[in-house]
Amino acid sequence: MPPAVQTVSETEKAFFEKNGYLIVRAVFTSAEMAECKQAARETIEQKTGPSGVYVWWCDEIPPLFERISCDPRLVAILNPLLGPEIEFLSAKPVHKSAAITFASPWHQDRAYWGGAPKYSIWIALEEATEENGCLRVIPGSHREFLGHANVSDHNGFNNRVREEELKDAHVVDAPMHIGDILVFHDCLLHSSYPNRSGQDRWCFIPTYRNAAVPDVSTTWKTSRQLT
Ligand SMILES: O=C(O)CCC(=O)C(=O)O
């Protein structure tokens, strides 16, 4: 039996608005996540190199990942946080292999796509720990978009905020259990720990926007209205 649809309380909504992210526990089962991880592994092996990231637009995403991205359990969490009109845009599996022994650089996803706010959900396909490279976030950073340097040194994402700008920042680690999710605003500063576990770490990240908010971003040619 899949877990029941969870709703977001007023307190959780206020937390999201203040901090730019919200963790919701046990949204998916281990069996669902294992199926997704196996399919993600097959995709990454075929389609991408060491970056470990492959993006599907909403009109080409394979059925299993479409089901997860549009799952009523996610929609029930997104609606109170984003608004009544939710559009699904794209999604990506992220493979942080055992060879990725460097931290993901600090960044805001908006650096990639601009425009109106987008919201992504980091879905733990397995346990994410400090040792295997769990996410790290800076609460409240979603209120300001910072300049990003473009660096291509093959140590993670190219768009980065300079470390000096963040030296006084309050960083929160986000260890997650399999099936937990972390919803985050596209200006939330985030990074992830190096993978020191000797084993791979997998997650899946769909992205959405509030369809009622005009968006000048040209990144997406298609979108799918969910509610
Ligand atoms: O999963 C990770 O290690 C980082 C993912 C990330 O930062 C992103 O996709 O923007």
Q: How confident is the model at residue 15 (pLDDT cuts 50, 70, 90)?
A: very high
Nearest to 53 by CA among 101, 100, 118: 100
Three-state DSSP class for residue 198: coil
**Predicted confidence (pLDDT) at residue 164 exceeds the cutoff of 90:** no
Instruction: State the Cα–Cα distance between residues 170 and 188, nearest whole angstrom.
Output: 13
What pLDDT sits at residue 120? 98
Closest CA to 66 of 34, 88, 33: 88
Contact 190 CB / ligand 1 (< 6 Å) = yes
Label the pairing between strands 21-24 and 181-185: antiparallel
Residue nearest to atom 4 of ligand 1 (CA): 192
The answer to whether position 89 is within a domain reads yes
Check: CB of residue 198 under 8 Å from CB of residue 131. no
**For the chain, how many structural domains are there in total?**
1
Q: Which atom of ligand 1 is nearest to the CA of 203?
A: 1
Residue 21 domain flag? no
Distances (CA, A) of 221 to 57, 60, 89, 203, 224: 9, 12, 9, 25, 11
- Is residue 160 domain-resident? yes
Radius of gyration of the chain (CA): 16
Average pLDDT over residues 6-10: 95
Nearest to 202 by CA among 45, 20, 4, 88: 45
Model pTM? 0.96
3-state secondary structure of 47: helix
Please state, in angstroms and rounded to a whole number, the distance separating the CA atoms of residues 172 and 138: 6
The stretch 59-88 carries a mean pLDDT of 97
Determine, yes or no, domain membership for 15.
Answer: no
Residues 107-116: tens digit of each pLDDT = 999 999 999 9
Q: Is the CB of 186 under 6 A from ligand 1?
A: no
Question: For residue 227, is it within any domain?
Answer: no
Please indicate, yes or no, if residue 16 is contained in any of the structural domains: no
CATH code assigned at 192: 2.60.120.620
Q: Domain containing 198: what range?
A: 27-212
Q: Which of 56, 108, 190, 204 to mutate to test the pocket of ligand 1 (most atoms within 8 A of CB)?
A: 190
Q: Which two tokens stand for residue 155?
A: 């140590």
